[in-house]
């Protein structure tokens, strides 16, 4: 795949949705299952099963990323995919793209909230996107 | 480039899900029976 083939695929999909709006409605699905302690598994389509766990400080065995880290990865990669997709359609050549996502969680709220000592967990995410891009040369 | 950034920032579905409260519906079943939930 190249930016040109991404553009072709997207323009074909955009055309199909314009012709038939209901084609734009998508359902994504993930099945998850608790395994033991605080370890879980996630299955998405036919990909390899993902292990989700917590670090030892949160009672886990550190066998995989935790759910908040998955959310951070989802945000970072979604931004990268959207930049790549729109850059292709808008004629911008991307040579590098990187997103550093940090999530700040108040663990006091997470664990003590149920005892009504503090409010429920509050979270704040921040992103830093760095890229190198230039207009695509016209052929 | 500015137009690209504005377009992505306003169309990224994960970002949109995080910054805007979206409807999440759920059902809990215990031993095969639906459990009535009290909203927090």
User: What was the ipTM of the complex prediction?
Assistant: 0.82
Contact A31, A43 (CB under 8 A): yes
How many independent structural domains does chain B possess?
Answer: 1
Report pLDDT for B28.
85
**Is B40 domain-assigned?**
no
Per-residue pLDDT, averaged over A90-117, amounts to 79
Task: Categorize the per-residue pLDDT at A123 as very low, low, confident or very high, splitting at 50, 70 and 90.
Answer: confident
Tell me if A86 and B18 make a contact (CB, 8 A cut-off). no
Share of chain B above pLDDT 90, in %: 8
Whether A15 has a pLDDT exceeding 70, the answer reads: yes
**Is B17 domain-assigned?**
yes
**Is B23 domain-assigned?**
yes
Report pLDDT for B21.
80
**Is B8 domain-assigned?**
yes
The highest-confidence range among A40-54, A105-119, B15-29, by mean pLDDT, is A40-54
Report pLDDT for B39.
62
Tell me if B13 and A90 make a contact (CB, 8 A cut-off). no
**Is B27 domain-assigned?**
yes
Phi, psi of A39 (to 5 degrees): -95, 135
A contact set with B (CB within 8 A): 71, 74-75, 78-79, 82-83, 86-87, 90, 92, 125, 133
**Is B21 domain-assigned?**
yes
Instruction: Spell out which residues of chain B touch residue A17, defining contact as CB-CB under 8 Å.
Output: none
**Is B11 domain-assigned?**
yes
**Is B22 domain-assigned?**
yes
Q: Could you tell me the residue range of the domain that residue B25 belongs to?
A: 2-35
Chain pair A-B, CB pairs under 8 angstroms: 31
Whether A61 has a pLDDT exceeding 80, the answer reads: yes
Q: If you average pLDDT over every residue of chain A, what do you get?
A: 88
Report pLDDT for A121.
59
Paired tokens of A98: 């990187």
Q: Please spell the DSSP secondary structure of A74-136, one letter per residue.
A: HHHHHHHHHHHHHHHHHTEEEEEEEEEEEEEE-HHHHHHGGGTSSPSP-EEEEEEEEEEEEEP
């Amino acid at each position: 795949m190249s930016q040109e083939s991404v553009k072709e695929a997207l323009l074909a999909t955009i055309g199909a949705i314009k012709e038939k709006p209901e084609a734009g409605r998508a359902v994504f699905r993930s099945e998850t299952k608790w395994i033991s302690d605080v370890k879980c598994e996630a299955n998405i389509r036919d990909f390899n099963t993902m292990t989700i766990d917590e670090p030892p400080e949160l009672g886990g065995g550190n066998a995989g990323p935790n759910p908040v880290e998955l959310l951070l990865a989802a945000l970072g990669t979604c931004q990268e995919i959207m930049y790549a997709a729109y850059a292709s359609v808008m004629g911008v050549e991307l040579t590098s793209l990187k997103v550093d996502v940090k999530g700040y969680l108040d663990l006091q709220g997470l664990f003590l909230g149920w005892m009504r000592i503090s409010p429920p967990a509050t979270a704040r995410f921040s992103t830093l996107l760095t890229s190198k891009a230039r207009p695509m040369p016209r052929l | 480039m500015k137009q690209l950034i504005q377009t992505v920032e306003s169309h990224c579905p994960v970002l949109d899900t995080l910054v805007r409260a979206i409807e999440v519906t759920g059902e809990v079943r215990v031993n095969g029976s639906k459990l009535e939930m009290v909203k927090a």
